């Protein structure tokens, strides 16, 4: 299950990232972006070359705490959202629905 | 009696609980105020008048009984990146122009459960990317204190609504300063609490590890009341933690004996004179109130650089779900990939595209070269350094923004220059620490803000310090902020 | 085997590694409380979380973690007491959030092995890791369109990654079968390849025998039966070694197995692979397994299926080939054990259970088809010779469907054997009258002729005549 957007050859920075971010970055956006690439590279380089770059990356302050998994007896039935009984209204935003499915043009490249 | 909309949340709450006013009166007054001011201010994307009147009627029933919560019947606004079931949520983007969630954000749920009256969904920069509330499908929000100026951003609509008395208080989101900077531009108070104190469930994610849902209020007391409402664990957000504090208790305990750091003077060099004056005055007042002051050095510059990479990286991932298959108007395309590309190209504005691509770049193994890991390591270092600075202190005082509100359109030609304006605020998001903005003075026309930043879960200390300064500063604020400034929070 | 192929197989050796995705049998999705079950109406089990709606946040299922750790313990893995989730970013219509939550950097389990047995004997296939992740939506291709069913989005999976340690298709098949047996026995997963609860990606490279370096590998995606894995591997080994033999360089490719042609086909090049832009999932704190939690999970571990099978052979005299079948799940082993414990007629019970009940359990799932008490009663009837085997089989289903007492049922259905002499007499008389020639033969000393007469008695009595009593009666009558 991966995207089907690998073109052959060695893509340039722009092309690669356009594929990655799924945008047609043409015109002004692309110009602004290519300028930013240069800046961000410089920024990253500056940070990385500074003496503070050592350390356990995953110990960053992403999380306030670890999550101790609950004992089976305590786990009970969770949580956030109850399942819905129908595709509507959750999928009503879809571009094309043929109940009960969301429909897209034929996807190729996947196991069929 | 004065106009109801002049009242702070605490004052209005007292009136409502004493039954001198009804919640329905308050809601009507605010809806009327919105009709009057909206054409000029553009604080709201989607007003919810009918919902507000129904909620107010319900609040009146509760107020008639015993034990109605403090903010029962108080009209408030919510940023348009917080989901409210049945109400359109655009995130100020073409991509979500028609999106109606059927779920409600935890923060709004809590406010509603306490009897809050939601007046509408407020304007913002598209997907909360920006510091000016100019990049919105709904057009720019204007600063109520000077309509030629920006209300700040990205929660500019929330701040403008409160400043224009189109809401008593408002909920915004702060990923790098997005409630504190607009609060500073509009002369208001905002607390970005410790990461995890307020549930993010139902808030459209920008950068998940930095995002905070925050109140914007007219006074420190109101902010404490709002935090009582918003804070606490939510089983729907695994990064949230529990809190049973009452933030209104001990507000007036004073700063005597507190150790307060002041950010290094070099960084003030880039600030407008009014900011420097406000900082100096705050230091003098704090000293006079018995606090011990010392100069400290915070890694602000580093924090800003790292912030920009982390925020863009996480945003590039968080916004990937908007693939046009379930959001945005249907786009033609021979393949699903073509459809996605077309929908994303048409649905996102330039700033959003810029950050998505920047973030994708930073994360890519080919071009980022594993830099993202190093960025995270650098972030850990910033945290350690900041913790070390804060260790012996109760709080650090720093500016919120380098100046007062800028004119709308100032950054139209140089969008990335606006990133710099977050240089005092991003450190709190990057480290997960709490920071409280309050008006510190003005430049004779518009207000400037100062902030207290503290250790994890030190919100009560920050409230105490801000409360002590607030009453001392009110006299100066009246002089330094233009008389013609409409809607400025005056003591009642 | 044609000689060309023979010669290729002699000169080339395959190196095979499998990536197996297994749906965890929690009944719920991993990050929300939506039901996860095969065969529900498409898009009926969805919510903001598994649809990736803006602002919806994942909440980890503790039960999914417990099942992943059970799998790890069963396969002898090291369990990481602290692990975390990462985001794997890519665009595909089956991925609601535009990223998959998985574990890259610190998986929940590392190491471990799957014991297998092939014609070459026993060996152990080492594992690299087991990690937890969420499943993607299901795409259904129809004409020029693709339909999306989000019911599968967010179903909990573990991915079990083997070392490239297998050398033959037979080993790969044995590995898959062993894995299925262990995981389904432990209740970790249904492991039904036809329903997609176990899916297999195959990595294979070929090298000259004796060559220490690995060749260029190809991946065959989503092969969905054990036999197809074997056939796909045979095809791919042949294809790759023929290419190498012809001096053609192998290109790293993602391929698929075409079930109709029995060949593998190229899907896409692997060069310039997708950059997944991995980073730590910020919405889920690292998961920590406390001592108390580990103890509780370890205590809930049943014995391994091979031990359980050996116990059935030892304690109940079960035939080894049946013992393997009866330990395909903990539940089944327990059900059978309760049945076998309820009767002294264990061989009879075993044969009825395997012959009549197993098939129904396969069809209906793990619910008791017949109470151990009722099965014991039927086993006794058959064991004591009161009914014939055909009746016993029918009785199993009659009793299961009606819930009635098997002995009473046997009476009412006239299944009980006729061993009473008075009752048998009319049959004996009739048979003798109809078999004058055979009777005469018997009397002349052709002893075997009695069988023909007895056959008539049995036929006329509908198989219910007790052959021993009837035989004795015939002998007496013919002697007189």
Question: In chain A, where are the structural domains located?
Answer: 1-54
Give the number of residues written for chain A.
Answer: 112
- Is C293 a domain residue? no
What phi and psi values does residue B36 have, to the nearest 5 degrees?
A: -70, -40
Predicted confidence band at A15 (pLDDT cuts at 50, 70, 90)? very low
Which residues does residue C223 pair with via DSSP β-bridges, in sequence order?
A: C200
Evaluate if residue C480 carries a pLDDT over 80.
no
Q: Pick from B341, B342, B350: which is nearest to A29 by CB?
A: B350
Per-residue pLDDT, A73: 65
Please answer whether residues B147 and B139 qualify as being in contact, where contact means their C-beta atoms are separated by less than 8 angstroms: no
Predicted confidence band at B341 (pLDDT cuts at 50, 70, 90)? confident
Q: Do B202 and C97 touch (CB under 8 A)?
A: no
C108: Cβ contacts below 8 Å, ≥ 6 apart: C65, C68, C69, C72, C79, C80, C83, C130, C131, C132, C287
Co-location of C258 and C375 in the same domain: no
A51's tokens: 């003496």
- Is C236 a domain residue? yes
Q: Do A40 and B362 touch (CB under 8 A)?
A: yes
For an interface test with C, the pick among B96, B171, B323 (most C C-beta atoms closer than 10 Å) comes out as B323
Three-state SS sequence of C54-98: CCCCCCCCHHHHHHHHHHHHHCCCEECCEECCEEEECCCCCCCCC
Residue where the block lists tokens 């220059």: B417
Indicate the residue among C221, C254, C288 that finishes a domain: C288
Predicted confidence band at A14 (pLDDT cuts at 50, 70, 90)? very low
Report, in angstroms and rounded to the nearest whole number, the Rg of chain C calculated over CA atoms: 30
Separation between Cα atoms, residue C351 and residue C357, nearest integer Å: 10
Long-range CB contacts for residues B31-37, cutoff 8 Å, separation at least 24:
B31/B119, B33/B5, B33/B164, B33/B165, B33/B166, B34/B119, B34/B120, B34/B166, B37/B144, B37/B164, B37/B165, B37/B166
CATH superfamily of B4-260+390-480: Amidase signature (AS) domain (3.90.1300.10)
Of C177, C187, C192, C197, whose CA–CA distance to C330 is shortest?
C187
B308's tokens: 């920009």
What percentage of chain B carries pLDDT values higher than 70?
96
Average of per-residue pLDDT across B87-93: 97
The catalytic residues of B are 79, 154, 178
Predicted confidence band at B429 (pLDDT cuts at 50, 70, 90)? very high
Per-residue pLDDT, B310: 92
Domain of C435: which CATH number?
1.10.10.410
Lowest mean pLDDT among B120-124, B209-213, B325-329, B403-407: B325-329
Provide ipTM, 2 decimals.
0.94
Q: What is the DSSP string of C173-188?
A: HHHHHHHHHHHHHTTS
Please tell me which residue, B118 or A51, carries the higher pLDDT value. B118
Lowest mean pLDDT among A33-47, B77-91, B96-110: A33-47
Evaluate if residue C243 carries a pLDDT over 50.
yes
Of C243, C265, C248, whose CA–CA distance to C256 is shortest?
C265
A85's tokens: 């009984």
Please answer whether residues C52 and C217 qualify as being in contact, where contact means their C-beta atoms are separated by less than 8 angstroms: no
Evaluate if residue C82 carries a pLDDT over 70.
yes
Per-residue pLDDT, A8: 29
Per-residue pLDDT, B366: 57
Neighbours of chain C (3+ CB pairs under 8 A): A, B
CA angle C119, C125, C126 (to 5 degrees): 170
Co-location of C194 and C332 in the same domain: no
What phi and psi values does residue B332 have, to the nearest 5 degrees?
A: -75, 150
Per-residue pLDDT, A6: 30
Q: What is the DSSP string of C324-376?
A: HHHTSSHHHHHHHHHHHHT-S-HHHHHHHIIIIIHHHHHHH-SS-SS-HHHHH
Encode pLDDT of C33-55 as tens digits. 999 988 888 998 899 999 999 99
Separation between Cα atoms, residue C375 and residue C357, nearest integer Å: 10
Per-residue pLDDT, A7: 28
C329's tokens: 């799940």
How many CA atoms does the CB half-sphere of C58 hold within 13 Å? Answer: 31
Q: What is the DSSP letter of C159?
A: E
Co-location of C368 and C474 in the same domain: no
Separation between Cα atoms, residue B463 and residue B472, nearest integer Å: 14
A69's tokens: 């998994």
CA angle B151, B165, B186 (to 5 degrees): 25
Co-location of C338 and C263 in the same domain: no
Encode pLDDT of B21-74 as tens digits. 999 999 999 999 999 999 999 999 999 999 999 999 999 999 999 899 999 999
B169-174 and B75-79 strand pairing: parallel
Co-location of C81 and C192 in the same domain: yes
From C142's Cα to the closest Cα of chain A, the distance in A is 8
Question: In chain B, where are the structural domains located?
Answer: 4-260+390-480
Q: Which domain holds residue C342?
A: 302-405
Q: For residue B109, give the H/E element and its range.
A: helix B106-113
Cβ neighbours, 10 Å, residue C330:
18
Please answer whether residues B176 and B195 qualify as being in contact, where contact means their C-beta atoms are separated by less than 8 angstroms: no
Predicted confidence band at C364 (pLDDT cuts at 50, 70, 90)? confident
Q: What is the DSSP string of B173-212?
A: EESSSTTHHHHHHTT-EEEEPSTTSB--TTBPPSSTTT-E
C225's tokens: 């039966």
Q: What is the DSSP string of B307-364?
A: HHHHHHHHHHHHGGG--SSSSSS----SSHHHHHHHHHHHHS-HHHHHHHHHHHHHH-
Evaluate if residue B122 carries a pLDDT over 90.
yes
A59's tokens: 């110990």
Structural domains in chain C (count): 3
Long-range CB contacts for residues A10-15, cutoff 8 Å, separation at least 24:
A10/C272, A11/C272, A13/A37, A13/B361, A13/B367
Predicted confidence band at C5 (pLDDT cuts at 50, 70, 90)? confident
CA angle C290, C294, C296 (to 5 degrees): 115
Lowest mean pLDDT among A82-91, B106-115, C310-319: A82-91
Please answer whether residues B449 and B439 qualify as being in contact, where contact means their C-beta atoms are separated by less than 8 angstroms: yes
Per-residue pLDDT, B369: 57
Predicted confidence band at C142 (pLDDT cuts at 50, 70, 90)? confident
List of chain C residues whose C-beta atoms are within 8 Å of the C-beta of residue A87: 42-44, 46
Indicate the residue among C222, C254, C288 that finishes a domain: C288
Chain B neighbours among A 46-85 (CB < 8 Å)? 46-48, 50, 52-65, 67, 78-81
Co-location of C330 and C273 in the same domain: no
B330 touches chain A (CB under 8 A): yes
Q: Say how many CB pairs under 8 Å bridge A and B.
A: 188
Give the number of residues written for chain C.
Answer: 480
C268 touches chain B (CB under 8 A): no
- Is C296 a domain residue? no
Q: Give the alpha-carbon dihedral of B378, B384, B388, B393, to 10 degrees.
A: 100
Separation between Cα atoms, residue C259 and residue B419, nearest integer Å: 56
Evaluate if residue A101 carries a pLDDT over 70.
yes
Please tell me which residue, A22 or B154, carries the higher pLDDT value. B154
Average of per-residue pLDDT across C319-339: 92
What phi and psi values does residue B45 have, to the nearest 5 degrees?
A: -95, -45
Separation between Cα atoms, residue B397 and residue B275, nearest integer Å: 12
Predicted confidence band at B91 (pLDDT cuts at 50, 70, 90)? very high
Average of per-residue pLDDT across B249-276: 95
Separation between Cα atoms, residue B148 and residue B139, nearest integer Å: 14
How many CA atoms does the CB half-sphere of C84 hold within 13 Å? Answer: 21
- Is C380 a domain residue? yes
Average of per-residue pLDDT across C223-234: 94
Cβ neighbours, 10 Å, residue C216:
15
Chain B neighbours among C 57-86 (CB < 8 Å)? 57-60
- Is C411 a domain residue? no
Encode pLDDT of B273-316 as tens digits. 999 999 999 999 999 999 999 999 999 988 998 898 899 999 99
Give the number of residues written for chain B.
Answer: 492
Evaluate if residue C219 carries a pLDDT over 50.
yes
Of B76, B229, B80, whose CA–CA distance to B167 is shortest?
B76
Per-residue pLDDT, B362: 82
Per-residue pLDDT, B421: 80
Indicate the residue among C405, C431, C463 that finishes a domain: C405
B356 touches chain A (CB under 8 A): yes
How many CA atoms does the CB half-sphere of C379 hold within 13 Å? Answer: 25
Encode pLDDT of A42-96 as tens digits. 766 776 665 554 444 444 455 667 888 887 666 555 444 454 545 555 666 677 7
B338's tokens: 């073509």
Q: Give the alpha-carbon dihedral of B163, B167, B171, B175, to 10 degrees.
A: -20
B235 touches chain A (CB under 8 A): yes
B336's tokens: 């699903």
Which residues does residue B217 pair with via DSSP β-bridges, in sequence order?
A: B189
Neighbours of chain A (3+ CB pairs under 8 A): B, C
Average of per-residue pLDDT across B252-273: 95
Per-residue pLDDT, C413: 87
- Is C295 a domain residue? no
Per-residue pLDDT, B492: 32
Encode pLDDT of B228-239 as tens digits. 999 999 999 999
Co-location of C246 and C332 in the same domain: no
Co-location of C320 and C434 in the same domain: no
Q: For residue C418, give the H/E element and its range.
A: none
Of A33, A35, A9, whose CA–CA distance to A23 is shortest?
A33
Crossing angle of helices C467-479 and C449-460, rounded to 10°: 130
Average of per-residue pLDDT across B220-232: 97
Which residues does residue C86 pair with via DSSP β-bridges, in sequence order?
A: C102, C280
What percentage of chain A carries pLDDT values higher than 90?
0
């Amino acid at each position: 299950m991966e995207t089907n957007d690998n073109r052959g050859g060695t893509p340039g920075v722009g092309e690669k990232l356009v594929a990655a971010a799924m945008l047609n970055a043409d015109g002004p956006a692309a110009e602004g972006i290519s300028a930013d690439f240069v800046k961000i590279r410089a920024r990253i380089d500056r940070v990385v070359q500074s003496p503070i770059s050592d350390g356990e990356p995953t110990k960053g302050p992403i999380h306030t705490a670890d999550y101790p998994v609950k004992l089976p007896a305590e786990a009970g039935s969770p949580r956030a959202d109850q399942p819905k009984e129908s595709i509507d209204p959750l999928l009503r935003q879809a571009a094309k629905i043929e109940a009960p499915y969301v429909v897209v043009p034929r996807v190729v490249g996947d196991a069929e | 009696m004065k106009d109801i909309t002049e009242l702070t949340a605490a004052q209005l709450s007292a009136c409502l609980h004493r039954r001198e006013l009804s919640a329905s009166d308050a809601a009507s007054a605010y809806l009327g105020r919105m009709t009057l001011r909206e054409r000029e201010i553009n604080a709201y994307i989607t007003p919810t008048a009918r919902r507000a009147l129904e909620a107010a009627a319900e609040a009146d029933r509760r107020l008639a009984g015993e034990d109605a919560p403090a903010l029962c019947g108080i009209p408030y606004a919510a940023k348009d990146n917080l989901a409210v079931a049945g109400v359109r949520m655009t995130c100020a983007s073409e991509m979500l122009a028609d999106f109606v969630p059927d779920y409600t954000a935890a923060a709004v749920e809590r406010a509603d459960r306490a009897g809050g009256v939601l007046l509408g969904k407020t304007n913002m920069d598209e997907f909360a990317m920006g510091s000016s509330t100019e990049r919105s499908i709904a057009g720019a929000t204007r600063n109520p204190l000077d309509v030629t100026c920006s209300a700040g951003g990205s929660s500019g609509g929330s701040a403008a609504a409160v400043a224009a008395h189109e809401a008593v208080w408002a909920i915004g989101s702060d990923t790098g300063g997005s409630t504190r900077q607009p609060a500073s531009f509009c002369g208001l108070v905002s607390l970005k609490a410790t990461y995890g104190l307020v549930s993010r469930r139902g808030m459209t994610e920008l950068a998940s590890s930095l995002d905070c849902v925050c109140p914007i209020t007219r006074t420190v007391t109101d902010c404490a009341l709002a935090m009582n409402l918003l804070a606490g664990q939510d089983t729907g957000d695994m990064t949230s933690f529990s809190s049973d504090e009452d933030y209104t208790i001990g507000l007036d305990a004073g700063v005597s004996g507190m150790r307060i750091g002041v950010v290094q003077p070099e960084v003030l060099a880039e600030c407008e004179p009014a900011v420097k004056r406000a900082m100096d005055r705050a230091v003098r007042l704090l000293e006079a109130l018995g606090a011990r002051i010392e100069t400290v050095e915070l890694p602000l510059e580093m924090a800003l650089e790292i912030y920009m990479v982390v925020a863009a990286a996480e945003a590039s991932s968080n916004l990937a779900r908007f693939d046009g298959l379930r959001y945005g108007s249907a786009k033609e395309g021979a393949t699903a990939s073509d459809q996605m590309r077309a929908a994303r190209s048409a649905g996102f504005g330039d700033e959003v595209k810029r950050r998505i691509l920047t973030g994708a770049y930073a994360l890519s193994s080919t071009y980022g070269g594993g830099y993202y890991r190093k960025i995270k390591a650098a972030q850990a270092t910033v945290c350690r350094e900041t913790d070390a600075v804060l260790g012996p202190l109760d709080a650090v005082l720093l500016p919120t923004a380098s100046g007062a509100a800028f004119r709308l359109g100032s950054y139209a030609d140089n969008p990335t220059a606006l990133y710099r304006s977050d240089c005092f605020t991003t450190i709190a998001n990057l480290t997960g620490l709490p920071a409280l903005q309050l008006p510190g003075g003005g430049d004779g026309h518009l207000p400037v803000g100062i902030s207290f930043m503290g250790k994890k879960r030190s919100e009560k200390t920050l409230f105490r310090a801000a409360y002590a300064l607030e009453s001392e500063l009110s006299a100066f604020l009246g002089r330094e902020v233009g008389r013609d400034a409409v809607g400025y929070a005056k003591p009642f | 085997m044609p000689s060309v192929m023979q010669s290729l197989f002699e000169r080339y050796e395959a190196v095979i590694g499998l990536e197996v995705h297994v749906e965890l049998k929690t009944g719920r999705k991993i990050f929300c409380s939506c039901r996860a079950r095969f065969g529900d109406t498409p898009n009926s089990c969805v919510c903001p979380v598994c649809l990736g709606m803006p602002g919806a946040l994942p909440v980890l299922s503790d039960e999914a973690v417990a099942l992943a750790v059970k799998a790890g313990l069963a396969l002898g893995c090291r369990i990481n007491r602290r692990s975390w989730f990462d985001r794997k970013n890519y665009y595909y219509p089956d991925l609601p959030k535009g990223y998959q939550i998985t574990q890259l950097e610190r998986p929940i389990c590392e190491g471990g092995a799957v014991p297998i047995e092939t014609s070459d004997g026993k060996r152990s296939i080492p594992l690299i890791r087991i990690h937890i992740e969420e499943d993607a939506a299901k795409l259904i291709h129809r004409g020029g369109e693709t339909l999306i069913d989000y019911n599968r989005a967010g179903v909990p999976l573990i991915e079990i990654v083997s070392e490239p340690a297998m050398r033959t298709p037979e080993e790969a098949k044995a590995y898959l079968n062993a894995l299925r047996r262990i995981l389904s026995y432990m209740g970790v997963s249904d492991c039904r390849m036809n329903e997609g609860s176990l899916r297999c990606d195959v990595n294979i490279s070929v090298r000259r025998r004796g060559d220490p370096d690995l060749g260029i590998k190809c991946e065959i995606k989503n092969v969905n039966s054990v036999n197809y894995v074997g056939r796909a591997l045979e095809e791919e080994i042949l294809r790759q070694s023929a290419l190498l033999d012809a001096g053609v360089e192998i290109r790293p490719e993602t391929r698929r197995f075409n079930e109709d042609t029995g060949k593998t086909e190229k899907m896409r090049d692997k060069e310039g692979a997708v950059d997944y832009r991995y980073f730590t999932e910020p919405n889920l704190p690292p998961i920590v397994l406390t001592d108390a939690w580990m103890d509780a999970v370890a205590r809930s571990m049943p014995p391994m299926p091979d031990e359980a099978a050996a116990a059935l052979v030892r304690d109940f005299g079960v035939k080894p080939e049946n013992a393997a079948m009866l330990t395909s799940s903990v539940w089944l082993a327990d059900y059978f054990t309760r049945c076998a414990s309820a009767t002294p007629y264990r061989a009879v019970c075993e044969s009825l259970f395997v012959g009549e009940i197993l098939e129904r359990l396969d069809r209906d799932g793990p619910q008791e088809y017949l109470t151990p008490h009722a099965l014991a009663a039927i086993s006794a009837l058959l064991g004591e010779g009161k009914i014939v085997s055909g009746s016993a089989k029918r009785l199993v289903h009659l009793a299961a469907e009606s819930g009635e007492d098997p002995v009473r049922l046997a009476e009412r259905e006239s299944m009980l054997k006729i061993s009473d002499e008075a009752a048998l007499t009319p049959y004996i008389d009739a048979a003798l009258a109809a078999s004058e020639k055979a009777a005469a033969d018997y009397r002349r000393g052709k002893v075997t002729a009695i069988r023909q007469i007895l056959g008539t008695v049995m036929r006329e009595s509908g198989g219910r005549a007790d052959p021993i009593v009837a035989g004795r009666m015939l002998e007496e009558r013919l002697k007189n």
